[in-house]
Amino acid sequence: MKKLSFAGLMLSASLASPAVALEHEVVIDHASGPIAADYKGSVAVETRQVGSAGVAGRSSTLRCNWTASLKVERIATVGDTMQSRRVLTRNDVASGSRPGWCQTQTKAIDRLVETRRERIRTVMLAVIEQDRAELVAEAESALDIRRDG
C-alpha cells in the first residue's frame, strides 16, 4: 500500500504539456507611427493525480484533474525606433477531470482542450484588448523620451 501511495504522490506532481497554439496581429495608429503588435498564445495543461487504485473487489477512485493556462507573448514595434516585449498569462482557462491515471489520459485531455479552442481564443482576444492601453502607454513613453532626448 505504501508503494501505491508513493506512486500516486509521484504522479500527482504537476505535468505540463502544450496543447493549443494561437496567433493574432494588431496595428494601432499612433502619433509616433503605427504600432504593430504580434501576439502568440500557447496553452499549457497541468495534471494532478487524485484518488487511489481499488483493491480486489473495490472500485478505483483514481482521477486525473487537469487545468489549462494561457500564455500570450507580445512583440510590438513602434515605427522604426521602439520594440517592446511582454508576456501575459491567464490561469484556468479550461479545466476538467478524467477517470484513471493521468499518464494514460494525455491525448484525451488534449482533445478536450482542443474542443474549447474558441473559448480560449475569446480569452486571448480579451487579454489582447486589455494590453492595448499598456501598449499605447509604452509608445507614449517612448515618444516623450525621444522629444526630451
Closest to 109 (Cα-Cα) out of 4, 8, 19, 3: 19
Mean pLDDT of 63-72: 95
Q: Is the pLDDT of residue 114 over 90?
A: yes
**Tell me, what's the pLDDT at 79?**
72
**Tell me, what's the pLDDT at 2?**
45
**Tell me, what's the pLDDT at 87?**
95
Tell if the pTM clears 0.75, that is, is over it. no
Exposure class string for 115-146: b at 16+ Cβ within 10 A, else e: ebeeebeebbeebbeebeeebeebbeebbeee
In Å, how far from its chain's centre is CA 32? 32
**Tell me, what's the pLDDT at 105?**
92
Domain ranges across the chain: 14-50+63-148
Q: What percent of the chain has pLDDT over 90?
A: 50
What is the C-alpha separation between 40 and 134, in angstroms, rounded?
A: 17
- Look at 107 and 20; give whichever has higher pLDDT: 107
Mean pLDDT of 29-51: 90
Q: What percent of the chain has pLDDT over 70?
A: 80
Region label for 65, one of left (φ > 0), alpha (ψ between -120 and 50) or beta (otherwise) = beta
**Tell me, what's the pLDDT at 22?**
86
